[in-house]
């Protein structure tokens, strides 16, 4: 509102500087009116001092990069990448491991009785074969810079090779990265790095083989050769 008044008066509205003595002073110090008054004076003095140094600015249009970077090749990352790619955007999908899937690779049962590994494999193949998606496997973020609409991200192999020197050779998309680096230009980034299961330190976990996490129990139940499948009580 104040900037619009300045603009209507024919002045550059970037010359405006606000001393917010209501929100930052009177409201938060309503029980201390004397002290609030002194603080208000300081806020006004600081705003005046800053206003003396401001210079006119001009708005300009900047080129916006519509490509996207998705960090994380799990279920969330692949879903986000496909949603963007289906709308015509170019997507770079970065996964630290040598394969897509994330935590879903450890799931074997669903309440719907569907096969999670079968569903995952369909999504992985759809992602790898999508013409608008480049999947960088076995890669991690080495450097990130820029601002909204104009980012630059450098990828490197994960883990970085011993004695490796930075380079601009592009990593091969869709297969495990074994050397070199890649520089990606993009306008937006989606972080879908997933979660790491908690590793207990209580209840004899790690000391007694009978103490399992939920994922470990599911893994054993899915293995036809596991002795735990013959148990009938918990």
Query: Domain extents for the chain?
Result: 2-51, 68-191, 198-234
List the single range of 70-79, 125-134, 163-172, 204-213 with lowest mean pLDDT.
163-172
At 7 the three-state DSSP class reads helix
- pLDDT tens for residues 90-138? 999 999 998 999 988 888 888 887 888 999 999 999 999 999 999 999 9
Compute, in degrees rounded to 10, the torsion defined by CA atoms 193, 166, 65, 194.
Answer: 0
Helices (H) and strands (E) in the chain, counts: 5, 7
Count of alpha carbons within 13 Å of 104, Cβ hemisphere only?
Answer: 23
Judged on CB neighbours under 10 Å (0-12, 13-18, 19+), 207 is exposed
List the single range of 25-29, 174-178, 184-188, 225-229 with lowest mean pLDDT.
174-178
226 CA to centre of own chain: 38
As given in the structure block, the two tokens for residue 49 are 């001092």
Sheet containing strand 150-157, edge to edge, reads 139-147, 150-157, 182-186
Q: Provide the b/e sequence for 166-193 (b: ≥16 CB within 10 Å).
A: eeeeebbbeebbeebbbebebbbbbebe
At 35 the three-state DSSP class reads helix
Alpha carbon distances (Å) from 196 to 52, 71, 103, 199:
52, 15, 8, 9
- pLDDT tens for residues 128-187? 999 999 999 999 999 999 988 999 999 998 875 555 444 433 455 554 555 578 899 999
Task: Show Cβ contacts of residue 78 under 8 Å, excluding neighbours closer than 6 positions.
Answer: 93, 100, 123, 124, 127
For the chain, give the percent of residues with pLDDT over 70.
89
Beta pairing, strands 188-191 & 68-71: parallel
The pLDDT value recorded for residue 27 is 92
The pLDDT value recorded for residue 82 is 97
Task: Show Cβ contacts of residue 157 under 8 Å, excluding neighbours closer than 6 positions.
Answer: 138, 139, 140, 164, 171, 177, 178, 179, 180
Class of domain 68-191 as given by CATH: alpha beta
| Rg (alpha carbons) of the chain, rounded to whole number | 28
């Amino acid at each position: 509102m104040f900037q619009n008044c300045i603009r209507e008066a024919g002045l550059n509205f970037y010359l405006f500087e606000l001393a917010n003595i209501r929100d930052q002073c009177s409201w938060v110090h309503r029980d201390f009116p004397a002290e609030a008054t002194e603080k208000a004076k300081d806020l006004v003095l600081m705003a005046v001092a800053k206003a003396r140094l401001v210079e006119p600015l001009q708005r300009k249009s900047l080129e916006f990069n519509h490509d996207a970077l998705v960090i994380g090749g799990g279920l969330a990352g692949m879903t986000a990448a496909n949603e963007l790619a289906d709308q015509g955007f170019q997507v770079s999908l970065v996964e630290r491991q040598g394969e897509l899937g994330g935590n879903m690779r450890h799931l074997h049962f669903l309440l719907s009785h569907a096969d999670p590994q079968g569903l995952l494999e369909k999504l992985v193949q759809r992602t790898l074969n999508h013409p608008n998606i480049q999947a960088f496997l076995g890669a991690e973020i080495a450097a990130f810079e820029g601002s909204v609409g104009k980012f630059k991200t450098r990828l490197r192999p994960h883990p970085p090779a011993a004695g490796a020197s930075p380079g601009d050779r592009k990593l091969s998309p869709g297969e495990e990265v074994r050397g070199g680096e890649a520089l990606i230009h993009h306008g937006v980034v989606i972080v879908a790095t997933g979660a790491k299961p908690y590793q207990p330190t209580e209840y004899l976990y790690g000391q007694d083989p009978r103490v399992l996490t939920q994922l470990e129990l599911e893994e054993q139940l899915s293995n036809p050769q596991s002795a735990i499948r013959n148990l009938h009580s918990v």
